[in-house]
Structure 1
Amino acid sequence: MTEKEARDKEQFERMKRNILALDLSLSDAPFHGLNHDHISGIKFAIEKVLKDTGITFESLIEERDKKDWFKP
């Protein structure tokens, strides 16, 4: 694997973790001043990013559990 491929793979993994973290944090969003329209817009954007990738929130949660994402 070349250095660029390794960087791309790491960036892709980081993107998946960030998307999952963003989705999970939306449950607290109303307590931080976001209204329903904001939350709907964010969810729409996430779905647009994941469209046609085969990646689902369920698959991200499974990957999180396998790879111990977000564990101290």
Structure 2
Amino acid sequence: MYGAMMKGYIVNNMPNKAIALFNVINDPDKVIVTLFFNACAQLGTNKELNLVKTVASNISQNFHS
């Protein structure tokens, strides 16, 4: 459900809402993290770049194939 909501926000040019939603998700899966990265890329600011770096550095090892 969160993924569909985030995708809707991204498609409708509301990446800030997608990022806000990501911040309340306790245990994001690969799809949610990918959507988060897409939302950050859509904004393209240094603030979002730093968010991506932070999230990417905290991704657990089970995300890696």
Q: TM-score, normalised by structure 1?
A: 0.33
Where relative contact order (Cα < 8 A, 6+ residues apart) is larger, the structure is: 1
Q: TM-score, normalised by structure 2?
A: 0.35
Larger Rg: 1
